[in-house]
Amino acid sequence: MDERNEVLLIDKPLKWTSFDVVNKVRWAGKYKKVGHAGTLDPLATGLLILCTGKMTKQIDTFQAQEKEYTGTLELGKTTPSVDLETEFDAEYPTKHITQEAINQVVSQLSGLIEQIPPAHSAIRINGKRAYESARKGEEVIIKPRQVDVKKFEIDSSNFPQISFRIVCSKGTYIRSIVRDFGKLLNSGAYMSSLRRTRIGEFKIEESLKIEQFLETIAERFSMNENLNNQQ
């Protein structure tokens, strides 16, 4: 195995876990050590920073950087996980919701805010992942945390679907913003799509899809093999 020290930008596919990507890259690239800088939920896509070798020491630095997301939320229904990982559990009215009310909620959920992470999250509580307890129907108590939502832009032209772009600090849960968005409108909401488009200065346009990464690695190994044969 190789001890290359690299930063890899991968466009995480839908339904893959972040660890699925790590394992695929480790196996395909024959790396000794690989880690990711910031989990993406299985139903989210987008930028995943992978560090190999000694660059894994930089993971905390990358995780602390500002992040940007785009996505859609749907008003009028909820799910326990606040996305489509779980089934709908309730329906709510939406006819009373005005554009003025939506704009007010966007303002309320912008800047420095207190938010409670979703019960279906990877946060550890007493050594156990929160989602493990939530999936069993157990009560999950998570303390609120302060996060910074630096930009929150929306397009409600397809109401009750609302498209958004959010720029935020480390530790911000977009599903919590969606959950609170619905509650503040005296309704309900769930996240129907999410894509991470930037981490710090790294942009999704600079990333490789898994297929492209595999092709790049195959070409690299082929070149190395040819060079070795010529020596």
CATH number for the domain including 74? 3.30.2350.10
Residues 25 and 132 in one domain: no
Residues 20 and 90 in one domain: no
* 175 domain residue, yes or no: yes
Residues 57 and 121 in one domain: no
pLDDT band at 225 (very low <50, low <70, confident <90, very high): low
Q: Bigger pLDDT: 144 or 228?
A: 144
Q: Tell me whether strands 189-199 and 45-52 are parallel, antiparallel or unpaired.
A: parallel
Q: The whole model's pTM is what?
A: 0.89
* Residues labelled as active-site residues: 41
Residues 89 and 174 in one domain: yes
Q: Could you give the CA distance from residue 92 to residue 189 in angstroms, rounded to a whole number?
A: 9
* 128 domain residue, yes or no: yes
Residues 111 and 178 in one domain: yes
Positive or negative torsion for Cα 198, 202, 204, 209? negative
Across the chain, mean pLDDT equals 90
pLDDT beyond 60 at 226: no
Nearest alpha-carbon partner for 130 in 73, 87, 164, 173: 173
pLDDT beyond 90 at 231: no
Full residue range of the structural domain in which residue 88 is found: 67-199
Whole-Å CA distances, 108 to 14, 24, 152, 170, 176: 30, 41, 10, 19, 13
Q: What is the pLDDT of residues 63-95, one digit of tens each?
A: 999 999 999 999 999 999 999 999 999 999 999
Residues 189 and 215 in one domain: no
* 13 domain residue, yes or no: yes
124 forms bridges with which residues in the sheet?
129
Residues 94 and 139 in one domain: yes
Ranking 18-22, 105-109, 141-145, 201-205 by mean pLDDT, the lowest is 141-145
Give mean pLDDT, residues 214-230: 66
pLDDT score at 90:
97
pLDDT beyond 50 at 110: yes
* 144 domain residue, yes or no: yes
Residues 166 and 205 in one domain: no
Give mean pLDDT, residues 156-171: 97
Residues 176 and 218 in one domain: no
Q: Could you give the CA distance from residue 125 to residue 195 in angstroms, rounded to a whole number?
A: 27
Residues 76 and 183 in one domain: yes
* 1 domain residue, yes or no: no
* 219 domain residue, yes or no: yes
Residues 43 and 83 in one domain: no
Residues 180 and 222 in one domain: no
Q: How many domains does the chain have?
A: 2
pLDDT score at 224:
54
Q: What is the pLDDT of residues 125-139, one digit of tens each?
A: 776 777 676 777 777
User: By percentage, how much of the chain surpasses pLDDT 90?
Assistant: 75
* 188 domain residue, yes or no: yes
Q: Could you give the CA distance from residue 83 to residue 218 in angstroms, rounded to a whole number?
A: 36
